Every structure is written in structure tokens, then in C-alpha cells.
Chain A
Amino acid sequence: MHLTSIMMATSLIIIFLLLAFPVLTSFSPHPLPSNWALTQVKTAVKWAFFISILPLCLFLNEGAETIITSWTWMNTHTFDVNISLKFDIYSIIFTPVALYVTWSILEFASWYMHADPNMNRFFKYLLIFLIAMITLVTANNMFQLFIGWEGVGIMSFLLIGWWYGRADANTAALQAVIYNRVGDIGLIFAMAWIATSLNSWEMQQMFTLSKDFDLTYPLVGLILAATGKSAQFGLHPWLPSAMEGPTPVSALLHSSTMVVAGIFLLIRMSPMLENNHTALTICLCLGALTTLFTATCALTQNDIKKIVAFSTSSQLGLMMVTIGLNQPQLAFLHICTHAFFKAMLFLCSGSIIHSLNDEQDIRKMGGMHHLTPFTSSCLTIGSLALTGTPFLAGFFSKDAIIEALNTSYLNAWALFLTLLATSFAAVYSLRVIFFVSMGHPRFNPLSPINENNPTVINPIKRLAWGSIIAGLLITSNITPLKTPVMSMPLLLKTAALAVTIIGLLTALELASLTNKQYKPTPKLSPHHFSNMLGFFPMVVHRLAPKLNLVLGQTIASQTVDQTWLEKVGPKATATLNLPLITTTNNIQQGMIKTYLSLFFFTFSLALLLLLY
């Protein structure tokens, strides 16, 4: 075995061991010390991050990619499932990013959750989630990927429902699982198709063998899976609902790691995806629709976390668009840069929410720039990075995506939708900053505002550095797999920036209009559409469960089970036999005449039969 691949495999195994160690030791019957979360979990993640730098450096230096296959887990006749790990550009880069972000979030969580009696358990959940996520990312076969896929899903269930006394948290947790399960049907469909047609779940064999097949159906399955996990249009409502979870959970799961798993799946499968134009078009249109729809929803939300959640959803749509453009590497780049600034935005909002005594409504904030200068500065940096301000992290990925979109020969409708969503990003980002850090305070005078704590400042600071330089670092170090278009008309080159600036100016104009009262009775229906999330949950969350519950109650239970099956089966046996029983029973009344006549009748009948 080559030395480089040994080093890569070893470091990954060390990462797994480091992360698993606190989980395993927590099963000891002795109660955990109260600072276990910080001393064990955070340290483990921190060291795992530093160790993950090693394969990253090896990769950057030598371009080394490797696949480790060991231990046949199960086999039937010709079908094997192995434990197999993949170290390619995606897993090698994503692992340090995820660990870095998690490290910061864990440190932040130790401040945010300090009053929670079960903080150790909370950290343990986050750690198990991280293990599942790294399993997903490094998986080299579908089964392993499915383990990580479901693992992150179920940890998200636990973490969204962290405050389990609240009905909202429980329903949001259930909602997340159910939407994800709809996506899982697609994954199971794709896995079944792959198993029956290609006879292997190992990635490289799948990619080699699938050349001669029409892959549209399994790819649609995979896209459905990604739709569920990455909250694309149709299966998106769980992501804003998931904001019922604690803010560190939103920062880790619902912005930077778990929700990108769907996009990551499609990036992994891009060798199968790239030659199928139907699937690519589906991705493109689905992504464009998602990015615009969720950006529209973000425009009028008043809950700060919901705005950030919808902007996450919108960015996920943008990643999907990139997949549809057949630029998986670009989508991956956006995953990485997005992780930094979106996690930071969540941490900033968490800090503000905490400072304002758990107030999440941006209408009741304001003037935070004077009270929490650091947090609100970082909020601004994050928003700028999100809108693609030049040379911040978001710029390197977002601008490249929009350039690729502009110069491609694909769907102009998708292009238009995406550009519109890009301008909306400027609008809702400005809205958050405008309401939260500008203007006058609108909150209670006795709020426990204090950001002067290293466990708040340091994580946000670390992510702020990431939001500023990560894009530059990553783009200048990796080799693009596809040749980017370098020359284009000025209009196309500046399109992303132009629409963002137009969006910003419009938003500023709108903001100033609100003070002037030009139109005392504004037209409210567009506002309602956006504020009520396009009426989507109203319709879907009522109709589908109601249909199924009615099926369960009236048809399956009452009509079939309690009526038909009862009446046709056991009850019918009784009622059919009853007349015979009563007839024979009624004759037996002790009347000698009846007995004798019956005897005579049978006797004569037998005699007749005997004679003839």
C-alpha cells in the first residue's frame, strides 16, 4: 500500500476514533462531570479537525485520492457489501470544513445551552450527528451512505425535538422525519434499481457499469432523495419548521452539514448524472424554483431564524441549479463556503436571541449595533458574504455559479428565476441588518445583553475569518475539474453583482418608503403569499395527512376491519349456522310424537333406498 494512502486512512480512522471515544466512554455508569461537554467533546472535535488537516495537505500537495476497502460486511452469492471508504476531493475537503464549523458551534453551544440541565447529552447528540455526517461523506458504497443518511436524519429528529415538552418542537421533529422519508423512498428506489441492474453498490463499479443503461429513473430517485434532504421545492417546509430546535442545532444541522447531504449525494453521483440530460434539466428547474420560492418566502418573515433558514433553502436551490448546470465541483465549493457564513449567521442570531431574552422577532429588535457591536458586525459580514460581495467567501462560489449559468446554453427561465432570487438575497439580508442592528431599540429595557464572553466571541470570530478567506483559500488551492469560461461580455460578467446591487437599492428604497406613508393602503396579497410561505404548508400539511388519516380511520379500520372482515369472516360463520342450530334445537323438545314420526320417516326412507 502506498504511504500516502496509509496516512490518509490512518488519519481518518483516528478522526473516527477521536469522535467515537467520548460517545463510548459516556456509556459508563458513572455520571459525567458537568464540564464533560467542553473538556471531552469539544476537544475531540478540535483535535479531529487538526488531524483532518493532514490528508488535506497531502491532497493539496500530491493530488492524492484513494479508496480503502476492507472487511466484506455481508455477501449473497454475487452481491457484496463492504466497508469501504473514499478519500477524494469532496470528502477530503468537506471533513475539515465540517469539523471546523462543528468545533466553533460546540464552543458556542456551551454558552448558549449553559442553563440546560442536559447539556452533556446535547453535546453527545451533536457528536453522534457529526460521526454520521462523516460516515455519509466518506462512504464509498450505497449502504454505508444510507447509514450516514439515515443517521443524520434521526439525529436531526432528536435535536429538533430537544425541548420535548413543547408540542411545536415535537411536531417539527416529526415533520422533518416524514419529509425526509419521502425522499428516502427515492433513495431506496435508486438503490433497488442499482442492485438489480448493476449488481453492486460500490461507487466505482456503479459508475463503470452504468454506462450502457438508461439512468433516468434511478437518477430521478436520487433527485427525490436530494429533494427531501436538501429541502428543495415540494419537500421544503420541514427546514423552516426545524428552527424549533436550539440555535446551535440550526447552525450545525440545518445550514452547514445535514441539509447539504442531498446536494452532496448528487455530487457523489455526478459521474452517473452528467450524461443524462433529463435528470440535469430536472435538477436545474427544481433548483431554480426552490431558490426563488424560498427567497420570496424569506422576504417577509419576521422570525430571524426563519429568515436565515429560508436563505439556507434558497442557497440549497442555487446548489441544485449548479448540479443542473453539470458543475458538481462548483456546487461543492458553494457547500463549503456556505457552511462558514451560514453557520456564523446562525450563531450571530443565536447570540442576539439570547441577549434579548429569547426574543426571535426582528420587529422587536433594533439598534443592536451599539449594544453588541461584534455580533452585529459579524452578522453584516455574513450577510455580505451571502449576497456575494466581492472577495468574501460567498463571492468565489456564487459568482462563479452565476457566470456558469449565464454562459451556458440552458434554460433561460431557470436563469431568470435564479437571478431574481439572487437579487432577493440582497433584499432579505438588508432587511435583517436593517431591523436588527440599525435604527432604534424596540425591545424591553431589561434585556441581558452581553456578548463579552470568549465562548461567544471566539466561535463567531473563527467563522468570520472563514467567511472572509475560505473562498479564496479553497479556490486557489483546488484544480477545477471542468474548464470555466473565462471570457464573456461585461454584462454577463457583472450580472450577479448588478442584480444584487439592484436588489439592495430597491430594498433601501422600500425601507425609506415605509417611513413616508405614500400609500396608506398597500396591496397585501403578495405580502400574504410570501408571509404565508406560498400557502404551501396550508394546503399540503392539511390535505395529505387528512387523506391518510381518513383512510386509516374510516376505510381501513372501520369499514374494512371492523365491518367487512368481521361480517364476512367470523360473524358470518355464526349467523349462517344459527338457523340450522335453532331448527335442530327447537325440534328437541321432548315430544314423543316428533321423535316417532322422525324415526318412521327415516326408517321408511332407508327401507326404500335399500329396496331400490
Chain B
Amino acid sequence: MFQVIGGRSVQASRLLAPRSAVLVEAVRGRKSRTDPVAKSKEGRIKTPPPVDPVEMVVLKERFSEYQLLMKSLRMAFKEEVLRKKYEEETGSRAEERAREEEEEHRALMALNDQENLRMLRLRILRVQEQAEKAQRKKLKVLLKQEQGQQKFLKEKEKEILQLQEDAKNFITLENLDQRIEEALDNPKNYNFAIDKEGQVVKQTILQ
């Protein structure tokens, strides 16, 4: 209910003669404004403190002067702040700054466009080169494939020719009798000897 004060919210009279050791002030703490008045305070009539008229006049004059000064100081500071804001928004510097900013923006945009064009051209060249490379590769691969195929074909042809040539010497049903007679007539001697020097000696007699 009572709050200890430090400084600003104290009236002048209370500062000069505090009855308690600590400066206290009545503050609505425990009870709210709708709570009923305490029974001990039922018949209480609150009288304001007595006022000395001479002192009152003097104090009023001094306070009014003081308050006028303080208010005008505060207004001066407020004016300064608002003036700065006003200058920023609608001052002579503001238009120049706006123009400068716009020009800067335009210049930067132009630069950006230039850069974009340059990069576009480079990109186009690069893309073209890559396309050509890819094309060449593809052609090479195709060529290789064709070459491979042709090689294969050739080998196969060679084999066929070889076979054809061999087929002339084959033993068929017609040649069978002839060949048997030939084989019987010409006995072949497959025996031979070989020494360490590699000399072949065919001296064994067929029996």
C-alpha cells in the first residue's frame, strides 16, 4: 500500500518534512478501486492540506514561468527534429539526391545490360563449339562402327574363301573310292626322329 519513493514524484512540501525515516507515498497497491472502504475509514472526511495564500501566489508565478521555459525548450527540440525530417523529405537536397540516385540506377542498369549481352555472345559461341564437337564425335563413332563392321565382314569373307578352297580337297561320296585307293596306294610315313640340335632325321622305314 505504501511505496518508497526515490526522487521525482515527490511534492516539495513532503520533501522538506518527512515524518518517517524513509519517504513513503500512498499508492493503490493491495485494494483495487472497486473495493469497499474500510470500516475504520467510514466517517473519514479528507481535508486538503492548508495553503498559505502569499506562498501560493509566489509559487504559482514561479512554477508558471518554469513550466513555460521547459515547454518552450521541449518545443524547440521537437522543432529541430521535425525540421530535419521535413528537410529530408522535401528539402532542396532531397531532389538532388533523388536525381543522383536515379542516374546511378540507370547507369548501373546499363552496365548490367552490357554485361548480359557480352555473356550471351560468349555463351552462344561456346554452345556452338560444343555442338560441333559433339557432332564430330558422333561422326567418328559412326565411322569406327562402320569400319569395325567392314573388318568383320572381310574376315568372314576370307574364312568363306578359305573354306571354299578347302572344300575342293574334301572327301565326298564320289571321291570316296578314289581317295581310298589313293591313300592305300601311297602310304605316308609320319615317323621321324629329332636330335638336340633340331635336325630332323627321316630314316625309319614304314612297315
A and B are partners in one complex rather than unrelated chains? no
